[in-house]
Amino acid sequence: MKLFITGGAGFIGSYVVQQALAVGHTVTALRLPGESPKIPLSIQPRWVDGSLADDWTAELRGVEGIIHLAAVGVSPQQATWEQLFRVNVLQSMQLMSAAVAGGVKRFIICGSCFEYGLSGEKYDFIPVAAPLKPANAYAASKAAATMAALALGVEHKVELAVLRPFHVFGEGQHPSNFWPSLKKAALAGEDFPMTLGEQMRDFVSVERLAAFFVGAVSRTDLQPGMPVIENLGSGQPQTLRAFAEHWWQHWGAKGQLLPGAIPYRANEVMRYVPLIPS
C-alpha cells in the first residue's frame, strides 16, 4: 500500500515508518526540516521536509492511506494554546482535507489518552465512550482534533480510525521522560529518586504501538463514513513503582531506586488505565 506518514521522524513515527517499510508498504514520510529519525532505519522512506501547513497535494496523489502522527506540545515539549490549536487542529484538518480531495480513502489518526482528562478518574478502565474532559491545552487540542477528524470521516465517507495510545516508552523517547531517565540512571550506576510510585498505568512499548498503527492500514473492518476510536495499551496495568523495579532489575542497576524521594505532582491522577477490548 502507498502510505503518507506525518511525524515520520518523531519518536512513534520513526518506529511506524520502520515497521511499515519492513512489511512492504511504500512510504512517503513528512518530517520537519533538519529532523532525523529517533532510531536508525535500515530502509529509508521517501522523505519530504516541511510542516502540516505546506501544500502536499502532489505528494498525496495516489496515496492509499495516511497515518497522521505529527503534533506539537507532546510532553515534555511545550507550546502555546494558539500553537496547539493551529497545528494540531487547523493544520491537521488542512492536510486531511487535501487528502480527501486527492482521493485518499483511509485515515489512521493518532489521538491521545489525555483527551479523557478528568473523566479518566471516574473509571477503573477508561472506555472510549468516556466523556472528554481535557485538563490542559495539549489535551484540549487533541480532543478537538479528534472531533474534527470524526466529523470529516462521516461527511466525506472515508475509512477512519482514531487510535489513543496510553503510556508509551522505548528507545528514542525524549530523554526527560520517565523511562529514558530511569535507564540513564541505571546504566550510570546512580540512584534514582522518584515518587512512591503508586500511580496505576498501562505502559506499552513503542514497538508494539507501531505495530497497531501499521496493522490498522490493512484492517478489513473499517467502513466508509463509520469512524472508530480505540484505546491502545498493553492491557496489563501496573504501578509506576513495579514498572521501575522491573526495568531496574533488567538493566542490572547498581544504584538504588528511591521511592518517595520526590512528592507527587499537584492533582496527580492515581489510576489512569484504558479499557482494552479482548
Residue 123 pLDDT level (bands cut at 50, 70, 90)? very high
Q: Which parts of the chain fold into alpha helices (H)? A: 11-22, 57-60, 81-85, 92-101, 137-156, 178-188, 206-216, 240-250
Match 496489563 to its residue by C-alpha cell: 236
- Characterize the bridge pairing of strands 2-6 and 26-31: parallel
pTM for this prediction: 0.96
**What is the reported pLDDT for 106?**
98
| pLDDT tens by residue, 34-60 | 999 999 999 999 999 999 999 999 999
- What average pLDDT does this structure show over 163-186? 97
Mean pLDDT of 214-219: 97
Measured at the CA of 115, the angle between CA 150 and CA 39, to 5 degrees, comes to: 90
Q: Is the pLDDT of residue 110 over 80?
A: yes
pLDDT tier, 75 (very low <50, low <70, confident <90, very high otherwise): confident
Tell which residue, 159, 50, 59, has the closest CA to residue 108: 159
Report the pLDDT value the prediction gives residue 25, as an integer from 0 to 100. Answer: 98
Domains of the chain from N-terminus onward: 2-169+203-232 (3.40.50.720), 178-201+236-272 (3.90.25.10)
Rounded to an integer, what distance in angstroms lies between the CA atom of residue 131 and that of residue 252? 42
| Whether pLDDT at 210 is above 80 | yes
Distances (CA, A) of 65 to 147, 217, 232, 233: 20, 7, 20, 23
Q: What is the pLDDT of residue 58?
A: 94
Is the pLDDT at 278 greater than 80? The verdict is no
The pLDDT assigned to 277 comes to 81
What is the pLDDT confidence band of residue 267, given thresholds at 50, 70 and 90? Answer: confident
Q: Give the DSSP per-residue string, 46-74.
A: EEEES-TTS--HHHHTT--EEEE---S--
b/e per residue 47-80 (b: at least 16 CB within 10 A): bbeebbeeebeebbeebebbbbbbbbbbeeeebe
pLDDT in tens, 125-162: 999 999 999 999 999 999 999 999 999 999 999 999 99
Confidence tier at 266 by pLDDT (50, 70, 90):
confident
Instruction: Taking residues 91-100, report their average pLDDT.
Output: 97
The residue that leads in pLDDT, 268 or 86, is: 86
Q: Quick one: pLDDT band at residue 202, thresholds 50, 70, 90?
A: very high
